Structure 1
Amino acid sequence: MILSALYRYPVKSAQAQSLPASPVGNLGLAGDRRWLVVEAENGRFLTQRAWPRLGLVRASYLADDSLLLESPGLAPLSVPVPAADDGLRGVTIWRDTLRVPDAGDAAAAWLSGLLGKPVRLVYCPESRARYLPNGYGLNSDRAAFPDGFPLLLIGQASLDELSSRVGRPMEMLRFRPNLVVEGAPAFAEDGWKRIRIGAMTFRVLKPSVRCILTTLDPATGERSPDREPLTTLKTFREKDGDVLFGQNLAVDGEGQLQVGMEVQVLE
């Protein structure tokens, strides 16, 4: 088995970046989901679930670690990383509330114009990262702005099996993984507890619960009229009311990942 792809999402619910290699540590891949768009009025987080235009945002990092925002029809904007204790704003992501630095008025205006709604952009320094959901991981595990866990892994064969059942190819980026593994049977990752990729050890914490976001075309942001692949997933991947696809992970220590590395199941 090999690590066949690496993806990060600098801004939650914006476009993916495909990476040939990446540092990995307590918060997952370096720079992954460290930025979040929230409602200006109450700090509640926004995603493509309700705001598919977020999928038009291409976010990347410049040499000084500032964030470059790009979208069709808008001038690119460079956003400096705010200091960890400057302009703190209360935000809510699912059941978590935290105070994190605001990225400033220029970023807020750029994103508000795109979405047609008053929003702010916030940043999560490592010192303000969230704990994982109760009952999962270790006390030392943290996450920035993913739904709950620092890393998501999907087997390529699992996607291939799903595509076969749907009757047309499904894009991997509908599921927004960080790690894609090739060479394992379909849904083999469901039975893994610990794996090694290169020199790094990862703990498999829980299956990923999927939602309406998977029905959005990652290239266009358009929703599938037949609600695929969620419709098909419900026929064979539903358990206790949740539709499951992929596995959430945490990593032990820090290191480097590179596409092509061997993947070993330890437990």
Structure 2
Amino acid sequence: MSDLLSNHKRLIIGGLAACATVTTGFLLYRSLRKKQEFIEVGKVDQIYIYPVKSCRAMSVQHGDCTKRGLKYDVLTDRHWLVVNEENQFTTIKRQPSMVLITPSLSEDGRYLLLDAPEMTTLKVPIDVSDVSEGDPKIVDTRVWGQDIQGVYCGQEAEDWLSKYFKGSGYKLIHANSKVALRDATGMKRARPIAKKGDLLAYQDDAAFMLMSQDSVDDLNEKLDNPVSARNFRPNIVVSGCSAYSEDNWKFIKIGGAILRHMKCDERCLVTTVDPETGIASDSREPITTLKKYRKCKEEDKPLYKDSPLLGVHLGIDQEGSLSVGDTVYAVCQ
């Protein structure tokens, strides 16, 4: 009889322990789930695509977030690149007037059109078979220490660019669907910021860059001469949130796309070039002011060094479309 009572007690105690374990597990699950919930943080204010790296942005009303970057119709962000006669990529730092080269898409969707001051319109065929007969010419180059190729966009584009830059040997190349993209995990960094599947054409560090208009507004309160979000060359501008809150968005959901925080964006002298005039600020603004209050934490210096931070670089976890006016949701960290 005593053995039966003892077994009964053990069953009761075991049952209570199991219930406690299940309850604790459920509460932990609920807590973790709550932390991972997307909350509304703002609205999409602007969407920008830069078909040619370092050239002027196209402001668009909608786009597709893809593994290759932001896509609008047949144009994908930073999938064309200007290289010099040594096949080194050319940027705003070397040629500030690049910001005045304005891209657009022809009505029939067959050409990337480029316009610039005192230049006739350049028509760049998007299909490489329209550029040359036979096998296309492939150009080898490097972007931030990583090898990548591009399809040569023809002599007409080379002549146009060389005339505009008042030099020789400037070429336009295209990372079309046949060009192997860079693996972002292969970039040398103080700590890993990318994961398997993060791909780059001619983008610097990540496929997407996002910032809030509120951050720009807060910066402008500290400047004598206001700047625009375009100085910072973002893909997505969000409004309706507090300044710099984007720093803490671990995951971002817009439309059908889910984007992932990789790192904050360290800023350089490119931001000092006025996107309307192509002239760099003599006072090195807004970098001078940003350095006064937007430095990284001491433990993050190996990653960011002394560069001021504004906006965030993002990878993509789920492809999808987005539009101006879409609600932006985030998981905050």
TM value normalised by structure 2:
0.77
Q: Which residue of 2 aligns with 1:60?
A: 104
- Alpha-carbon deviation of 1:136? 2.4
More moved, 76-85 vs 212-221: 76-85
- Alpha-carbon deviation of 1:209? 1.1
Q: Which residue of 1 aligns with 2:22?
A: none
- Alpha-carbon deviation of 1:266? 2.2
Q: Which residue of 2 aligns with 1:249?
A: 314
Any stretches of 5+ residues in structure 2 without a counterpart? 1-41, 130-134
Q: Quick one: which of 212, 217, 222 aligns to 2:274?
A: 217
Is 2:152 the counterpart of 1:107? no
Q: Which residue of 2 aligns with 1:177?
A: 234
Any stretches of 5+ residues in structure 1 without a counterpart? none
More moved, 134-143 vs 202-211: 134-143
Give me the whole-angstrom Cα distance separating, in 2, the residues matched to 1:56 and 1:200: 31
Q: Is the 8 A contact 1:82 1:102 kept in 2?
A: no
- Alpha-carbon deviation of 1:81? 2.4
Q: Quick one: which of 154, 175, 179 aligns to 1:124?
A: 175
Task: Name the SS of the counterpart of 1:235 in structure 2.
Answer: helix
Q: Quick one: which of 196, 220, 232 aligns to 1:163?
A: 220
- Alpha-carbon deviation of 1:199? 2.1
- Alpha-carbon deviation of 1:3? 0.8
Q: Quick one: which of 60, 64, 69 aligns to 1:23?
A: 64
Q: Which of the two has higher C-alpha Rg?
A: 2
Give me the whole-angstrom Cα distance separating, in 1, the residues matched to 2:322 and 2:123: 27
Q: Which residue of 1 aligns with 2:16?
A: none
Give the RMSD, CA atoms, in angstroms: 1.5
Give me the whole-angstrom Cα distance separating, in 1, the residues matched to 2:286 and 2:110: 36
- Alpha-carbon deviation of 1:167? 3.4
More moved, 63-72 vs 227-236: 63-72
Q: Quick one: which of 46, 62, 82 aligns to 1:37?
A: 82
Give me the whole-angstrom Cα distance separating, in 2, the residues matched to 1:18 and 1:249: 19
Identity %: 34
Deviations 1:147-178 (A, max 9, x none): 12111001111111111112342111000000
Q: Quick one: which of 190, 201, 204 aligns to 1:147?
A: 204
Q: Which has the higher helix share?
A: 2
What one-letter code is carried by the residue in structure 1 that aligns with 2:194? G
Give me the whole-angstrom Cα distance separating, in 2, the residues matched to 1:69 and 1:29: 19
Q: Which residue of 1 aligns with 2:95?
A: 51
What one-letter code is carried by the residue in structure 1 that aligns with 2:61? P
Deviations 1:192-244 (A, max 9, x none): 11011122111011011111111111100111121110000010112331221
More moved, 172-181 vs 197-206: 197-206
- Alpha-carbon deviation of 1:82? 5.0
- Alpha-carbon deviation of 1:90? 0.7
Give me the whole-angstrom Cα distance separating, in 1, the residues matched to 2:54 and 2:110: 20
